[in-house]
Amino acid sequence: MKSNEELIETAKEAAKNAYCPYSQFPVGACVLYESGNVYLGCNIENSSYGLSLCAERNAISTAIAAGEKSKLLKIAIYSPKSTKCFPCGACRQWLQEFEKGQNIQIILEDDNNGLCLYNINDLLPYSFNLI
Residue 52 β-bridge partners = none
* Annotated catalytic residue 56: yes
* Residue among 65, 66, 45, 41 nearest 55 (CA): 41
d(CA 130, CA 52): 26
- Residue of 9, 13, 45, 56 with catalytic role: 56
* Residue among 27, 84, 102 nearest 58 (CA): 27
Strand order in the sheet with 38-42: 38-42, 28-33, 72-78, 105-109, 115-119
- Catalytic (active-site) positions: 56
